[in-house]
Amino acid sequence: MQKERIALVTGGGRGIGREIALELARRGCSVALNFSRSEKAAEEAAAEIEAMGRKAITVKADVSSAAEVKEMFAFVASKLGPVEILICNAGITRDNLLMRMKEDEWNDVISADLSSLFYCAKEALRPMIKARWGRVIAISSITGLIGNPGQCNYAAAKAGMTGFIKSLAREVGSRGITANAVAPGYIETDMTSVLPPEVREAMLKNIPSGRTGTPSDVAKAVAFLASDDSEYIQGQVIAVDGGMTM
Ligand code: NDP
């Protein structure tokens, strides 16, 4: 990373978000780690960042709440300064076949995975426009590209994120801001640890790289998109999936 930038990673305490936060810190960023439940994990990740000699803070907020997101941005600005790199990583799954899917399962996923991007990007934008520099990176999913049985809610939210990012890129792309999405494939985290072994084996057969992904695979792509080196990459969806969806 060129300059000491200020990054906010939603869901930065564990899984992919944690690795993104650490990678950005390794490349020189000050990092705000958002969590909703995993306070201890977020504090441990922040301590790891501080041990690298970088600044880190933790901030509790449910990103599916516009009011909590607003407070989160005000808190981060008061502690570190305005967010220059926004990573919308927080997400949940509530899988069910459509015939059985409850309204709550639909609404919870749309709120946590998609509305959160609307709330966060809206809060982040004004200072980015003023500074004529900014990075908005959404962690979507290959499910948003190719669909998955049992995930109509999640696929709709993740595809919604990419449509949002492309529109945002068209709105603010001429102001030194880039908006891009990363679509991870099968990444080993708590989210995928609940999948049965036969699902894992079936997935593996469809991964040309011959292995599942790690949070670090995703974090490195995100760190590149967050850097100055990616300034002409705009409105893209980069699959980090070992070739699964090529
Ligand atoms: P995990 O289940 O391991 O972690 C989810 C993260 O999201 C946690 O840090 C959690 O924080 C946070 N989070 C969830 N809901 C909220 C909320 N309402 N407000 C604030 N934070 C919240 O997931 P992964 O690390 O695997 O996934 C990270 C992202 O990557 C997600 O968007 C996921 O959809 C996406 N993804 C993952 C893939 C995979 O194979 N693992 C594949 C494709 C996409 P807390 O514990 O504090 O609630």
Q: Which two tokens stand for residue 63?
A: 């990103």
Q: Measured between alpha carbons, how far is residue 65 from residues 70, 108, 115, 168 in Å?
A: 9, 11, 8, 21
- Give CA–CA dist 84/178, Å, rounded: 11
Examine the residue annotation and report whether 232 is marked as an active-site residue of this protein. no
- pLDDT tens sequence across 213-229: 999 999 999 999 999 99
**Apex CA 70: angle with CA 69 and CA 71, to 5°?**
90
Q: How far is the CA of 228 from the centre of ligand 1 (A)?
A: 26
Site to substitute for ligand 1 among 8, 9, 14, most atoms within 8 A of C-beta? 14
Residue 59 host element (H or E): strand 56-60
Task: Express each pLDDT in 182-203 by its tens digit.
Answer: 999 999 999 888 888 998 898 8
Nearest-atom number in ligand 1 for the CA of 154 is 34
Residue to probe by mutation, ligand 1, list 118, 191, 218, 240, most atoms within 8 Å of CB? 191
**Which structural domains are found in the chain, ordered by start?**
6-239 (3.40.50.720)
The whole-angstrom separation of Cα 85 and Cα 114 is 18
Q: What is the pLDDT of residues 96-142, one digit of tens each?
A: 999 999 999 999 999 999 999 999 999 999 999 999 999 999 999 99
The closest residue, in CA terms, to atom 7 on ligand 1 is 90
Assess contact for 81 and 6: CB atoms under 8 A: yes
- pTM recorded for the entire structure: 0.98
- Token output for 29: 């960023």
| Pocket of ligand 1 from Cβ distances under 6 Å | 10-11, 13-17, 34-38, 62-64, 89-92, 112, 139, 141, 184, 186-187, 189-192
